[in-house]
């Protein structure tokens, strides 16, 4: 679960595989004091995605398989510490640098931490929330696989926001419903195109039904978010590629077509959003055969709207691998990983494992992460 850890002793750098902060200068050091650390989990879009950016509805949940953690340590100067791997700036050769850019891109997590600091500060200023003058250092670590549609970037931002809320003691002054907007604003600051679904899932944790209808968005500035009991979910599995090289290279024109009033896109996106409402009822009724139908239909509608060239051959193959053994499957996000439900149980799971092994895909049992909200925050909902 997401937690805030109050630490008074220095952690061993090897424990839990965490990366220790780079050394600070003597000038930066302050008297030892409690550090704050938060963990934000990867998320799976279960039903309704990608209708969240089209005034639709979704059901998503966080998984304990993967997470990002951010550590805030009070310090004399404000420091944003680069990660020794994800913010790599030292290379053995030009070839090493080019290979790195090809596989990892130009950006690590430092820019994400800087962006949420800016958005958080501006929000507090605009809403007359007083912040004390203390400084801090921020560092992060993550084990969320890249380009798998599991919301790795927003996990870092969400964890950092939680650290800032606690450091400045303003958690009670910023509504839970507003926090996903802050996370999304930080990413938009960097040109990342996304919707609220992932950020809601990671701010709330656990299983959440989300209604992004235009009426709510216009009136409240956010959707209606309803936590659900995680025990309603059946056993699920995750399939992803270790090296997602063919994850869809063609830019989607769906958004532009929707804005231009394309009837096929508008009606299809409405149909996708309705799947979340049908899924909510199916979960409450433990209607697993209905869930199979809804998961498969979610992907099929997405495929009709976006087209195979946009989705990418490897992503489609992950879905097809599951369907070949009779399992239900769909994207966890925009591609890169697939969530699978094997309604026939362990025997079907074994068949799926064998198919994934043949195809070179990684498969894991999904471990659901519980809500990360404390009791007082839950009461405010």
> Which SS3 state, helix, strand or coil, does residue 208 take?
strand
CB 339 within 8 A of CB 236: yes
Query: Which among 238, 180, 182 is positioned nearest to 64, based on CA atoms?
Result: 238
Q: Tell me the catalytic residues.
A: 198
Degrees (nearest 5) of the Cα angle 165, 380, 45?
Answer: 75
Helices and strands (H and E) in the chain: how many:
13, 10
Q: Which long-range contacts (CB under 8 A, 24 or more apart) does 100-104 make?
A: 103/243, 104/146
Q: Which two tokens stand for residue 210?
A: 């989300």
Element holding 235 (H helix, E strand):
none
H-type alpha helices, 285-380: 288-306, 308-311, 313-324, 346-359, 375-380
Distance CA 53, CA 282 (A): 24
- CB hemisphere CA count around 241 (13 angstroms): 21
Contacting residues for 70 by C-beta, under 8 A, at least 6 apart: 37, 38, 40, 113, 138, 139, 140, 156, 159, 160, 162, 163
């Amino acid at each position: 679960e997401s937690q805030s850890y109050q630490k008074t002793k220095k952690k061993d750098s090897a424990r839990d595989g965490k990366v220790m902060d780079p050394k600070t200068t003597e000038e930066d050091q302050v008297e030892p004091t409690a550090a704050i650390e938060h963990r934000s989990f990867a998320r799976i879009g279960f039903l309704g995605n990608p209708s969240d950016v089209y005034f639709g509805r979704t059901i998503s949940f966080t998984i304990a398989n993967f997470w990002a953690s951010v550590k805030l340590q009070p310090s004399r100067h404000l420091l944003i510490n680069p990660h020794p791997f994800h913010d790599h700036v030292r290379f053995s050769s030009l070839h090493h640098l080019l290979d790195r850019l090809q596989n990892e891109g130009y950006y690590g997590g430092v820019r994400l931490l800087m962006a949420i600091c800016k958005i958080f500060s501006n929000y507090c200023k605009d809403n007359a929330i007083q912040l004390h003058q203390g400084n801090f250092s921020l560092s992060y670590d993550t084990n969320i696989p890249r380009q798998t549609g599991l919301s790795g970037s927003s996990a870092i931002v969400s964890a950092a926001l939680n650290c800032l809320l606690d450091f400045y003691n303003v958690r009670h002054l910023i509504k839970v419903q507003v926090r996903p907007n802050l996370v999304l604003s930080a990413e938009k600051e960097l040109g990342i195109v996304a919707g609220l679904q992932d950020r809601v899932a990671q701010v709330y944790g656990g299983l959440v039904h989300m209604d992004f209808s235009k009426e709510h968005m216009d009136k409240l500035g956010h959707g209606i978010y309803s936590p659900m009991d995680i025990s309603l979910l059946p056993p699920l599995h995750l399939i992803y590629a270790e090296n997602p090289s063919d994850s869809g290279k063609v830019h989607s024109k769906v958004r532009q077509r929707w804005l231009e009033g394309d009837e096929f896109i508008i009606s299809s996106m409405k149909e996708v959003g309705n799947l979340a409402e049908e899924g909510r009822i199916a979960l409450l009724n433990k209607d697993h055969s209905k869930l199979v139908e809804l998961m498969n239909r979610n992907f099929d509608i997405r495929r009709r709207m976006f087209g195979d060239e946009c989705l990418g051959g490897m992503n489609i193959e992950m879905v097809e691998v599951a369907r070949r053994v009779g399992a239900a499957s769909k994207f966890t996000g925009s591609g890169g990983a697939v969530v699978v439900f094997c309604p026939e149980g362990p025997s079907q799971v074994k068949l799926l494992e064998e198919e994934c092994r043949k195809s070179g895909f990684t498969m894991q049992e999904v471990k659901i992460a519980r809500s990360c909200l404390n009791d007082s925050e839950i009461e405010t909902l």
